[in-house]
Amino acid sequence: MKILVTGAAGFIGSHTAERLKAMGHEVVGVDNFSPYYDLSLKKLNASALAEKAIEIVNIDLRTDNLVEKLPNNLDYIFHFAAHPGISNTSTFEDYFSNNILATQRLLEFAEKLPKQPFFVNIATSSIYGLEATFPESVPPKPASWYGVTKLAAEQLVLAKSRANNLKATSFRLFSVYGPRERPDKLYTRLIDCGLNNKAFPLFEGSEKHLRSFTYVQDIVDGIVSVFGKEKICNGEIFNLGTETESTTAQGISTVEEILNTKIATENKPPRAGDQSRTKANIDKARKLLGYNPKTSLKDGLIAQTVWFKNNF
């Protein structure tokens, strides 16, 4: 099959593109190489994909002519491209344009194709709000611009399914970590601090936050489980993550154990909209998709540490 992956130079998008290629599919990657974080990491990811014959085209979904620049014979679209996370330097317009407008333009493009592709939207546990411990049927209460705009994007996608204009599904991902994790995320920053004798910025109260830290390959397992289950997935939302909870403090101590060092911390004020607890309720994905994440936090962090040492 011919598959479009948006945000293919990013963290989870690049891993998914690699998996799809390994499964024998033709993969077309697109990314706008936003400077939201260090472009050198995205270029590193793009180089890794190029070695596996996966080309990433520089396209901005918000402004470029998608009909001219994208293939018209797609079987699947995996939509990762977004403005992620909680950032004090990002404006509402950043989240709106990247998460809502870009998604709407991509949907309009998909609707016009001669053979409409199956649309897989990549969403987030931030949709649930300050606590994300619920099944997919619970009404969301997002508490950040990121969560609000990702919920809006998800509903744009599912509205197309409800109107029978596209077949589509949405996966809500929980606290993903592993090789290629963004530099602003917890574990890449922790590993960097531990190896380079830097102080780790610890937001007030965050050491007690509970997370379903989920290894990236376990997330990709869930994403690609859509193949052969399109009828089951159409119009549905699925949580993907581990049911095991760990505190941020436990995560810090695990990295310290792997690196055999003590990481100094620098206290920071609490972040507005930061989730206090995430625990993936994956009953639906387990039952309908056979989803079963298995990687322990320590094993995943060992792999991430090796990646960081090899590349930085």
For the chain, the first-to-last Cα distance in angstroms comes to: 35
Mean pLDDT (whole number) for 7-18 = 98
**β-pair type (118-124, 76-79):** parallel
Structure tokens at 147: 């969560």
- What's the CATH class of domain 2-174+216-240? alpha beta
Q: Is 291 a catalytic residue?
A: no
The yes-or-no verdict on residue 37 having pLDDT over 90 is: no
- The domain segmentation of the chain, as residue ranges, is 2-174+216-240, 186-210+244-279+295-311
- Which of 253, 250, 273 minimizes the C-alpha distance to 263? 253
Tell whether domain 186-210+244-279+295-311 is in CATH 3.40.50.720: no
- Provide the 3-class DSSP secondary structure of residue 306: helix
pLDDT in tens, 93-118: 999 999 999 999 999 999 999 999 99
- pLDDT-derived band at 15 (thresholds 50, 70, 90) equals very high
pLDDT in tens, 62-83: 999 999 999 999 999 999 999 9
Active-site hit among 76, 95, 128, 146:
146
- pLDDT-derived band at 88 (thresholds 50, 70, 90) equals confident
The answer to whether 2-174+216-240 and 186-210+244-279+295-311 have equal CATH topology is: no
Backbone angles phi, psi at 212, to 5 degrees: -90, 75
| Predicted TM-score (pTM) of this structure | 0.96
The yes-or-no verdict on residue 86 having pLDDT over 90 is: no
Task: Please give the pLDDT value at position 70.
Answer: 97
Q: Which of 27-31, 36-40, 72-76, 183-187 has the lowest mean pLDDT?
A: 36-40
pLDDT in tens, 214-243: 999 999 999 999 999 999 999 999 999 999
- pLDDT-derived band at 273 (thresholds 50, 70, 90) equals confident
Task: Please give the pLDDT value at position 16.
Answer: 98
d(CA 303, CA 215): 10
Asked if 119 and 230 touch (Cβ cutoff 8 Å), the reply is no
The yes-or-no verdict on residue 38 having pLDDT over 90 is: no
